[in-house]
Amino acid sequence: MQFMKRKTGDEIISLLGKGAEMNGEISFTNGLRVEGTIKGTVRSEALLEIGPGGVVDADVHIRKISVDGEFRGVIHASDRVEIRKNGKVFGEIFSPCLIIEAGATFDGRCNMSDEKPKPAKEGSAPLKMDGTSPAKTP
């Protein structure tokens, strides 16, 4: 008896090639590789792979993303975010797993928990790097 492998959406089925540009909203069920440009919104429970020449400027809701090109915007990944050695990410990342290879660029913020940040209490002072609070001035 042969068992079938369960599809994970990691197989790259679609390609947005070099020189192609898409503006708007895109959704897909199997993996997508971007070597061109996407601007807008991306939604999928599959893999989004940004190739070395690819540029994505978007709000992305994805299962997994691999960046070897350039990304600007917000990433919401339910599984993981991988920034390859030539990849550049500028923006915010919300994901339980973040992998950044040596040589990669990440300029932004990352939240790896489900919890939302709590606002600072009124009148509280931030901690210095040595763990002490700065002196309050009247």
For each of the chain's 138 residues, which pLDDT tens digit applies? 445 444 566 788 899 999 999 999 999 999 999 999 999 999 999 999 999 999 999 999 999 999 999 999 999 999 999 999 999 999 999 999 999 999 999 999 999 986 555 555 555 555 555 555 555 544
SS (H, E, C) the chain: CCCCCCCCCCCEEEEECCCCEEEEEEEECCEEEECCEEEEEEEECCEEEECCCCEEEEEEEEEEEEECCEEEEEEEEEEEEEECCCCEEEEEEECCCEEECCCCEEEEEEECCCCCCCCCCCCCCCCCCCCCCCCCCC
pLDDT of residue 1: 44
CA distances from 49 to 4, 54, 122, 134 (A): 25, 9, 43, 45
Structure tokens at 25: 């909203």
What is the residue type of 4? M
Cα angle 101, 107, 110; round to 5: 80
Predicted TM-score (pTM) of this structure: 0.77
pLDDT of residue 113: 81
pLDDT of residue 133: 53
pLDDT of residue 80: 96
Q: For the CA atoms of the chain, what is the radius of gyration?
A: 19
